[in-house]
Amino acid sequence: MAGPLSGIRVLELAGIGPGPFCAMMLADMGADVLRVDRPEPVDLGLPLEPKFDVIARGRRSIALDLKHTGAIEIALALVEKADVLIEGFRPGVTERLGLGPDACLARNPRLVYGRVTGWGQDGPLAQAAGHDINYIAIAGALHAIGPAQRPAPPLNLVGDYGGGAMYLAFGIVCALCERHSSGRGQVIDTAMSEGAASLMSIFYGRMAAGLWHDKRGVNILDGGAPWYNVYDTADGKYVAVGAIEGRFYAKLMQRLGLDTPSLPDQYDRARWPELRANLARIFQQKTRDEWCEALAGHDVCIAPVLSIAEAPSHPHNRARGAFFECDGVIQPGPAPRFSRTPGRVERGAPRRGEGGAAALADWGFSPQQIAQFRQSGTVMEDDHNAGL
């Protein structure tokens, strides 16, 4: 069966970070994604062989030099046939190119125009340079993550992908749903700083209720609680403990031999240091895998802390098919899962221009039009596998 977004055409203006990740999510769910590549690489100065560029999987490419008027006309012709456009430039860039929302919606009033930036399309910081760490800093997210001594960057998961790509994908799907009733497209302004703030909603609520302290390492979910933490094991690896509920906490203490009359109340913060020391001492007595085996099936909320290299081989991940191999690269599979229309990866990441001619044909362009695009000189062909 085709994925749930089968039949949706997405035009992706090549960029970095959240835009490509969003496009990957849509492609995984069956959308036909055509990436518009620039003549120069978009790789932060860190070039990557396409097969390793996992978040670029699942689409085809047309390479256009958007500095030329002819290329803009080709892009607008693509816009006329697209359901969605994704762009992640600074505010005003696509307008200056002639591919801003007004120009595109004039050509295709049903277009869903998805924009993602760090700070949003307006506001004092709109034109400021930045990256994930900066966007989550003003959302309150960075301050809340890490040990008590200083905040720790949580990879670029919270801003780029959680607060950016996923909110953009959610916005796109919402706009597509709304289009069924209105028949009209619209513009989505996704700011990574705002998405990161949205992800923090529960903590803002708990702080207002007096249940969350505005500093690190003293709260239930930030490593402050000894029963929600990471512990060293005898082999230098780690186990993750998350026994929040009272019944899970009681079972954990029982299995570890700490269920004694002197056992502190789970929420007795004054005795958390003592409990943490006891847990640290006990977990040092076995290896990570020995602990996981010993505690398996006892509902104590424990899991091995797996490295990136280890995770694909975990029995649960294997049983679920959470990872798969594409072009010799082990990578996470499409998520979430659907009962009737499962997502799947149709192809790996394209080289610049790869598959462009076939995509244009699928989008309804005639062989004559495709030949004209090639002859215009605004289409850049890929050296390895020219797709147009």
Please give the structure tokens belonging to residue 362. Answer: 């699928």
- What residue type is 12 in one-letter code? E
- Judge whether residue 46 has pLDDT over 90: no
- Judge whether residue 43 has pLDDT over 90: no
Peptide bond into 39 cis (omega under 30): no
- Of the candidates 132, 141, 133, 138, the one whose C-alpha atom is nearest the C-alpha of residue 214 is 141
Query: The whole model's pTM is what?
Result: 0.94
pLDDT of the residue at 386: 46
Residue 45: band (very low, low, confident or very high) from pLDDT cuts 50, 70, 90: low
Burial of 151 from C-beta contacts in 10 A (0-12 / 13-18 / 19+) = middle
Residue 12 burial (CB count, 10 A): 28
Chain centroid to Cα 326, Å, comes to: 19
Calpha distance 35→270 (Å, rounded): 56
Calpha distance 59→355 (Å, rounded): 9
299 is catalytic: no
Q: Tell me: domain 9-199+323-375, CATH 3.40.50.10540, correct? A: yes
Report whether 226 contacts 272 (CB < 8 A): yes
pLDDT of the residue at 264: 85
Fold held by 228-232+238-304: formyl-coa transferase, domain 3 (3.30.1540)
- What residue type is 284 in one-letter code? Q
pLDDT digits (tens, 9 = 90+) for 313-338: 999 999 999 999 999 999 999 999 99
Please give the structure tokens belonging to residue 357. Answer: 């001619």
Domain ranges of the chain: 9-199+323-375, 228-232+238-304
pLDDT digits (tens, 9 = 90+) for 278-313: 999 999 999 999 999 999 999 999 999 999 999 999
Query: Of the listed 37, 132, 160, 222, which one is catalytic?
Result: 160
Report whether 214 contacts 138 (CB < 8 A): no
Report whether 27 contacts 1 (CB < 8 A): no
Query: Of the listed 131, 143, 327, 362, which one is catalytic?
Result: 131
Residue 76: band (very low, low, confident or very high) from pLDDT cuts 50, 70, 90: very high
Calpha distance 214→84 (Å, rounded): 40
pLDDT of the residue at 201: 98
pLDDT digits (tens, 9 = 90+) for 352-381: 999 999 999 999 999 999 998 888 756 655
- Of the candidates 60, 37, 56, the one whose C-alpha atom is nearest the C-alpha of residue 356 is 60
Residue 385 burial (CB count, 10 A): 12
Please give the structure tokens belonging to residue 54. Answer: 């996992």
pLDDT digits (tens, 9 = 90+) for 195-247: 999 999 999 999 999 999 999 999 999 999 999 999 999 999 999 999 999 99
pLDDT of the residue at 361: 95
314 is catalytic: no
User: Could you identify the residue written with the tokens 């309150």?
Assistant: 140
